[in-house]
Every structure is written in structure tokens, then in C-alpha cells.
Structure 1
């Protein structure tokens, strides 16, 4: 009897937004027993598109679609990402201007960013809470970047004299954190923006001077 070589049907594209909590690793297993994405995402064959540091919070996209994962994570695609950063000190207009024009880091000059001081946002309580230094004020800023260097936002604010105390990613491209609470997720597989992104032409790779290989 002849063997059938019927081609397997492709899996439907799955895309999920997650509000990654503080001190959760952006991976699905850890030999040290720390919290990972597996504590919050239980779908098989779905992976993070890009990373978010363990000590950072907020929006993370996950997908089962390799080309989409590359589009979302690859710095050369210039997918803008917006962060809210609580920094030590009352951030100045001069520091904001420096962030907007690019900051010199050890791995090269950053691309120009969008930055502005914002009122303290209404957020969930972090556990453990941020440690404050007595008699030193803090302030909040919104920072939008189009790169993905290691710990970039923290290094940028430190370079202009305002170390980051708390960092939350609130937007990736057209997708926003909105009302998601820490550990909560939302399925956006049917979002028409996903099909638009996959159809858009690839951009040429960009690398700033002395930036690391990723």
C-alpha cells in the first residue's frame, strides 16, 4: 500500500501580550528555580520576541511564528519601544535633550530617542518596592528607543546623570500595555497589525559604531 506524503498544515500564527512581572526571567526554564515565563504562559511552542531584563517589568510579546519573532525582536527593523523610567533625582531639560540627540555609551552612540518628563503614573505596587535614598527626590520620564542593546535604557539614563530605579516597558510598536496587570496576558493573534507587519519590506541592517553583535 503506498505511503501518503501529505504535507502538514501550517500552525496558525499565535501572538500573545504579557505584562512580565519584576524578577521574572524572560525564558521558560531556569536551573536555579527562579520564576520564568512558564509560570504565566502555558501554551506550547510559543516564545518571547525580544527580551526584557529580569529587573524590568512590562510588555512582552510572544509568538509561535519565526519570521514574526524576528521582525519584532531584530533591532534593524526599528520597532519603537516605549519605557517609563523612574530615575533618581529631578531629571533636567538638559538631560532630556541629551537622550533625544543620542548618548555616548561604551558600545557607541545611541540613536536619537523620544524623551519627556511625565507625572508619576498610577501603577501596581512592586514587590519588593523600590529602595529610595533619603532626601533625594525621584522623577519619571517616558523614553522611546528603536534599538535593543543590553540594558540600554538604564545605561542611557545613568550616562546623563539620573540612574534608573524602576523600569517598565509600556509599548512595542502599535501594541500597548493598557490595563494588563503583572502576570496577565492577552491574545492578539487576530490583530490586523500583525499581517501588516509581516507584509512590510525588510529594512537594511543598521549598526552604530562599536555596538555588540546580537
Structure 2
């Protein structure tokens, strides 16, 4: 058994506890000595970040060979078409090689919290929302994938990693779950959510 922290990382917060350049970090929201992020989420992306103080569990989550599906809600610039969706689903050619097949579908705009600062709205250019799931962890992969098919990412929110979901967590909030070391949440062991006000 181990403990995992599910944290809703706000926009423009680093997925680490210190920064020599003075940017916002996890330490502004979490006081968890010994815990480390299992994987990462870019500074300009939002949503689910997992942390644990168990090295074995951290490896099970972060190591790409375990191939946990990671699901993102993606706002892109433009009215995305089926050809672009098909390309994302089958694999996109990037500078570091072709991506693995993804799960992707167009969705209605999800009910999310307002982003601060907000995405710049261009009245002359439409936007679209996708739900995109990948099993890789290349640097800025989702953004590079959507750009490669002609639809740059405007907002990126990770909603799920494997069996763990962002549901019920506002930005800056977290909750603890007890986990079997096989990497799945233990039933009935979810604790109350927490929020640290800055």
C-alpha cells in the first residue's frame, strides 16, 4: 500500500517544488515533505498531476514502458476536421519520430474553471475542443501533435492518468488516495480534498 496525491495544477505553475527564477511552484500549494511528482505537466498546461513518496509507485506511473493512458481536454485554434482527427488517431510525424496511435474525438466545450489569464479570443477565428488520450510522454507532445495537423493548441488540461481522475478538484486543490502497488486506487480509501490558499 502507498499514498498518492492527486493535484489539480493551475496554469503557469511548475511541476516541482523549487525554481531559481522565482516562478510559481508546487510549494505554493502543497506542504508535502518527501513527495515527488510522478511524471510532469508543462508550466503552461493545467490539470491532473500525481505525486507520491513511494519510489516504486512513482516508477509505475512515470515510466513510459508501463503505458498508462493520459487523457487531455484540448482547445485548438480552428474548426478541426475529420482528416486531422484521423491523423491524430493513427500517428503524427514529429521531429523525434511518429507518435503512437491515439484515442481522439471532438467534444463540446467542457465545463472548466476560467483560466487566469484567459485564452486570447479571436472573433474571426473559430476554435474546437478535443478529448485526446496518449500512452507516450514526449516533451510537449500534445501541443506538437495538434500543430502538426494544422490546429495549434490554445489550452491544455489533463483530466485523467490511468484510473486516476481530476473529477471534483478545483485548481490548487488536491486529495489523497491509498493505492495498491500494482498502481490502482484502493476502493474506499479516498480522503477529503484540500486547498491551500496562496
> Scaled by the length of structure 1, what TM-score is found?
0.84
Residue 35 (structure 1) aligns with: 24
Distance 1:178 1:197 in 2: 19
Q: Please identify, of 33-42 and 164-173, the stretch whose mean Cα deviation from structure 2 is larger.
A: 33-42
Residue 86 (structure 1) aligns with: 75
User: What runs of 5+ residues in structure 2 fail to find an aligned partner?
Assistant: 185-198
1:47-126 superposed matches below 5 A: 47-126=36-115
In the alignment, which of 5, 9, 24 is matched to residue 13 of structure 2?
24
In the alignment, which of 161, 169, 178 is matched to residue 180 of structure 1?
169
Distance 1:197 1:63 in 2: 11
1:85-107 deviations in Å (ceiling 9; x for gaps): 00000111111100000000000
1:6-33 deviations in Å (ceiling 9; x for gaps): xxxxxx7321000000000011001121
In the alignment, which of 112, 117, 135 is matched to residue 146 of structure 1?
135
Deviation at 1:179, TM superposition (A): 1.4
Contact 2:73 2:132 in 1 (8 A): yes
Number of aligned residue pairs: give it. 184
- SS of the residue 1:195 aligns to: coil
Deviation at 1:84, TM superposition (A): 0.4
What is the alpha-carbon root mean square deviation over aligned residues?
1.2
2:183 is equivalent to residue 197 of structure 1: yes
Deviation at 1:170, TM superposition (A): 0.1
Deviation at 1:197, TM superposition (A): 2.6
1:115-172 deviations in Å (ceiling 9; x for gaps): 0000000110000000123300001000000000000000000000100000000000
- SS of the residue 2:181 aligns to: helix
Deviation at 1:77, TM superposition (A): 1.0
Structure with greater proportional strand content:
2
> Scaled by the length of structure 2, what TM-score is found?
0.90
Residue 154 (structure 2) aligns with: 165
Structure 1 stretches of 4+ with a deviation exceeding 2 A read 194-198
Contact 2:6 2:174 in 1 (8 A): yes
User: What runs of 5+ residues in structure 1 fail to find an aligned partner?
Assistant: 1-11, 199-214
Residue 137 (structure 1) aligns with: 126
